[in-house]
Structure formats: structure tokens, C-alpha cells
Structure 1
Amino acid sequence: MWGRSVQSAIRRYLEHLQNNQHASVHTLQAYKTDLQQFLVVITTQAGGAFAPQELSEAIVRSYSEWLQTQGYRPATISRKFAALRSFLHYLNELGFQVLPEVAETLNAPHEPRKLPRMLDRAELNRLLEAPGSSHSPGHLRDAAILALLYESGFRATELVELRLADVELSQARIQHPSNELESVAIPETIRAIQAYLQDGRPHLVRNPQEVFLFLNQRGKGLTRQGLWLVVKRWAAAAGI
């Protein structure tokens, strides 16, 4: 029956995750909690135990609706469904013959994406001025990044792809990373970039052959995640 046999299967599944998949303690605890919750909810709703092969789309849908009434965020529901989907596949391996399409219907609702809020002029000025007048390599780099993001309109993926050779100091322009035939005028940013190239980047670079314009503390090209952290840091400093 569903109650006892699946309880045993859950234990075997967690052992499988630990011994064969080398799951972390955190992952094991999260999966255990999610699977135990699923077991309790559906047996309560069904008014008793039933066999694993009787698990249907209607039961899964009922569990999904219950989760949403509990105020869980879509990301949390998605995690719970991931645990359940993996477990159902494991049940099949144990010979319980749970229909594959049941597991494939476990789709959590999408979390609505929030539209980015436009900064007003005062907030923008505070952000651009946040790195201050420090001449540390990191501050010089960040000041150039913030100014360039504002003036050029480059996307994050485009900015981190910029190369040293893309900068035209004498013309106060920079090559567009997505269009070899286009360069962008940056008269307001060129001084910040020049300061970074003169007093910032030389202290960050480790390999003289490094081609990327903006470098992290290890001397490598800045990643999108690294760029996001830069903006987040100075936005917080500016009180945004």
C-alpha cells in the first residue's frame, strides 16, 4: 500500500541520493521534508492509503493546488516538484510502474518577472557618484563600469565582452561588442575609462596577454555575475 511501501521507498531513495549521487546534507534534508509532506498531504486528501501505480495527474494537481493555498512561492513549489519528479522516476526503477507522464506533468507556476524600475535623476547621480574619488583599482574600475553602462546603453552581456582593443581613447568612442561596424560615442565616460586604464587595470591584470577590458580581482575578465555584484554594491551604497 501507498503509505508504508512508499515510506520505505523514500528511505531507500534518500540513501540512493547520499551513497550514489553524493547529495549534500542540505539537499537530503530538503528532499526528505518535501517528500514526507507530499505523502502526508495526499494520504490525508485521499482518506487512506493507496498503491503507487494509482498516483494520477488529478492527485498531483490537487497537491499543487494545496501548495499554492499555503502561500509558497513558485520557486519553492518548483523545488518540491523537482524532488517529487525525481522520486517518481526512482519508484519506476523499483518496479512500482508509476506512469511516466504523471511525473512530466509536475510543472510549478511561473513566478512573475518584475519589470525593472527606472531610476530618477537624483538616484542616478547618487549611483554614478557612489564609488567616490578613491584611486583604488576596484573603485576606478567600478566608476568606469557605472558610467559606461549609463552612457552607452550596453547590456550586461555586452559590457563584460568588451576588449581592451575596443576602446578608442583619442576618439572618445568604444567599439560596439555586438556590431563590428559600429562604435559608440562616450564623451562623458572616457575620462573614467582612461583613469581605470592608467591606474586601475594595471594593478588587476595578471597575464599581460589578457584581452578583456574589465577585470576581476583575480585578473580575469569580469563575468555577468561579477558585474551584477558591482552594480548591487554601489546601488546599496547609494541607498537605492
Structure 2
Amino acid sequence: MKSTIYYFSATGNSLEIARQISKELDNCTIKSMTTKLPEEPVGGPDESIGFVFPVYYLDMPFFMEQFVEKLNILPGTFCFAITNYARYKGNALNNLEEILQKKNIQLDYADEVKMPGNYIVSYPPPNPDKLEEIFKTSRIKVDNIIKSISNNNKKTAEKSLLSRIFTKHLKFIIFGNISKWDEKFVADNKCTCCGQCSEVCPVENIKIENCHPIWQHHCERCLRCIQWCPTEAIQYGKKTVGIKRYHHPNVTVENFIETKD
């Protein structure tokens, strides 16, 4: 059976999971959700469709929600979804399931993989020993997921009423004020005007003007710009000063620039 995995990744965690799955599934292609939405319907009885993405604020990334709502999936498609999370699993898979159900599509298999946290606005990444421990555990978990997907096993998303209620309130608070969130981004004197922050931004929220990055106030809060700045010149106020940047060791910045084409 042919498989297509749509993924979103900011620092490589989801991309690494998508790669690991695609290597073991027959005739599997991975596509970034930051690229152009497919014009033709996808899936069907002979093609499984997967989604691999991080948990943001206990939910899926905002623009991913829009992507899935617009994606035309054929009836009879085996759909699976894998989230990666650092601290809390949240309600992302349940919300994705609801979106698919409105399209008369079943989310057949849903699972989560714990990966290193990368939201350095709130906390630093794990130390090297802890990182390797997380990577080792995640590889084992993904191997088990691959076996289940290959056998078309069913697994429903875990349902938590508390998480569901909290997610809805959190989403309202966060995205109700999203236009102002990126006002705290600054580029300090280490900025070389390379433009890489603009190139990696998944929603084209950064423009370079007078050799300086300017945020356009429709940020997804993925922090690609901070994590991939080659001189660590981008800060979020004072919260990220001196904090070590993170990206998965198996990915490069070119992976994120190329996926926008």
C-alpha cells in the first residue's frame, strides 16, 4: 500500500519521526504541511495518509488545523496521526479526530512520542545525556508504531475531559492575542543580516528590511527563527538570552528551507 505522511516540524523532532516511519513503510512519501496544499484528492483504499506533528499549547499547530480542514481525503482512507510532545500530551489528537470526522474520515490510529522540549521561551533543552536517553526511547516507541501501522491496527486517541476543557480555554487566550505575541522578538548586534530567519519561517512572518528582521504579526510560535539563527542573534525579550538552542541532530537548516519550495 502506498503511504503519504504530512508533517510539520520546527526543530526536527517531527521530521525525524516521519523519516523513521517512511523508511519502514513500503512506497512512503513525506511532505511538509508548509508546502502547497494538494489540488487533487488524496488517499483512498490503496493509500494511507498520516500526520506527524508537535503538540503546541496542548493542541496542534494553528496553521496545521487549517491545512487538514482544507485537505481533500478520499473515503476509505486509512488515516494515522503521531504527535510528539515534551511535557504534556494535550488534546491535539482528539481535535484532529474531530476535524476528520466532519469530513467523514476516520482517524484509525493515533499515538504520541515523547521528544526533547524545544520551547526555550519557557525552559532550556535537556542536557546531552538526557537527550540521548529521550532519543533512544523514542526510536523504540516509533518502531512499535510502525509495526502497528503496517498491520493496519486500530488505536483511538486518548480522551481527557480536563485536557479538552483546558485546551479550549488556552487556545482562546493564546490565539486571541496572537497578533501581538511576536512583538517581543528582537535581533541583537550579533545579527549578520543573513536572512535565514525569514527563509525558515513556515508562515512567511519575517521580512528583512534595512538589513534587519521585521516580524509581521501572524506568528505560529514555532520558534524556528530563534532556533535556527546561525549567530543566535534572535531573542524573545530577555527570556532566551544565554539559553542553548536546540534542533534534532539528524536534521539541518536546509531541510526547512527546502520544504517551503
Q: If the length of structure 1 is used for normalisation, what is the TM-score? A: 0.24
Give 1 or 2 for the bigger CA radius of gyration.
Answer: 1
Higher RCO (C-alpha 8 Å, min separation 6): 2
In proportion to residue count, which structure has more strand? Answer: 2
